[in-house]
Chains A and B, each alone.
Chain A
Amino acid sequence: MPENNSRKVYVIPCSGIGKMYGLLGREAVLKTVKELRPDKAATMCLALLVYGDNEARKEIAGARCITVDGCPKLCAAKNVEHAGGRVVEMVRAVDAFRNHRGVDAGTAAHLTAAGWQIAEELAADLAAKVDRWYDAGEE
């Protein structure tokens, strides 16, 4: 496969700053694109995209995108789609808690050890999704 950024799968978190889920989703995305799948995945500033930056919109146009949202408003999914990205997976950070009910994962400002563990699990799930869509080519 050629090393071409346009082939990469974009993983874009919501920018939720007020709740722990926003932080957890964001950290999971950063781990995915930086550590787990740097050759296959990239991210982008959601605000830049929403603001209508031409370069950002051009980059995302038609690209396969996995969005990660921290709240039911689904800003990332809706805005990425509106900006022209192809949302192939819509992930909610809260779903990563299915096996961790009642756990203290931290706050909007910092994650606890348990929170980091959940973020790592979410990152692994995102990496698997990236593999699936990257390997699927341009379907």
Chain B
Amino acid sequence: MSEEGKISIGLISCSGEACPGGTISRLATQKVLRSIRPGYNFVTICLPLFMAGGEEERHFARHYPTITIDGCEKCCALKATEVLSGPVSGKVVVTDLIAGEKLGEGTLATRELTAEQKAMVDQVAAAILEQVDKINREG
């Protein structure tokens, strides 16, 4: 629990600078962070800082429920969190939800997002919130 009796949940997103899934992950995570979800306090953690030794970040992920959001099948966020802080409470992998050919290749700037890609952001954000609900159900 954190301030005001809310449940704190950590969101660790890959930012996949080199792949479209990274941009989708990042935007979906931002969407969840900004969403009004009574009872929850979402906290984001910069993945490279966490991986490079951010003790505060690792401590948080060790003691609070954390959801990782990965843009590709390499799952850097999931693997790093499990190695450094233990099992995650939920995970979302963009390429599990959206076929690679639909995502496209190369980098993706936020300005370039098509209507289809914006819908993908919504889809991934919904998947993150499903994980939040699962955490709530399972305590």
Contact = CB atoms under 8 A, between A and B. Distances in A.
Interface string B4-42: 000000000111111100100011011101100000000
Contacts of A23: 110
A18 B22 contact: no
Interface in A72-115: 73, 75-76, 78-79, 82, 108-111
Contacts of A110: 110
B44 A18 contact: yes
Contacts of A82: 52
Contacts of B102: none
Given A75-B52, A108-B30, A48 B107 contact: no
A15 B46 contact: yes
A26 B66 CA distance: 25
Sort chain A's interface into a size bin.
35 or more
A82 B128 CA distance: 32
A46 B15 contact: yes
Give the interface size class of chain B.
Answer: 20 to 34
B80 interface: yes
A62 interface: no
A123 to B, nearest CB: 10
Contacts of A15: 14-15, 17, 46-48
Interface of B: 13-19, 22, 26-27, 29-31, 33-34, 44, 46-49, 51-52, 54, 74, 76-77, 79-80, 106-111
Interface of A: 12-18, 22-23, 26-27, 29-31, 33-34, 43-48, 50-51, 53, 73, 75-76, 78-79, 82, 108-111, 116
18 contacts: A12-B17, A13-B17, A17-B47, A18-B46, A23-B110, A30-B107, A30-B108, A30-B109, A31-B109, A45-B16, A46-B15, A47-B77, A50-B47, A50-B76, A50-B80, A51-B74, A73-B49, A73-B54
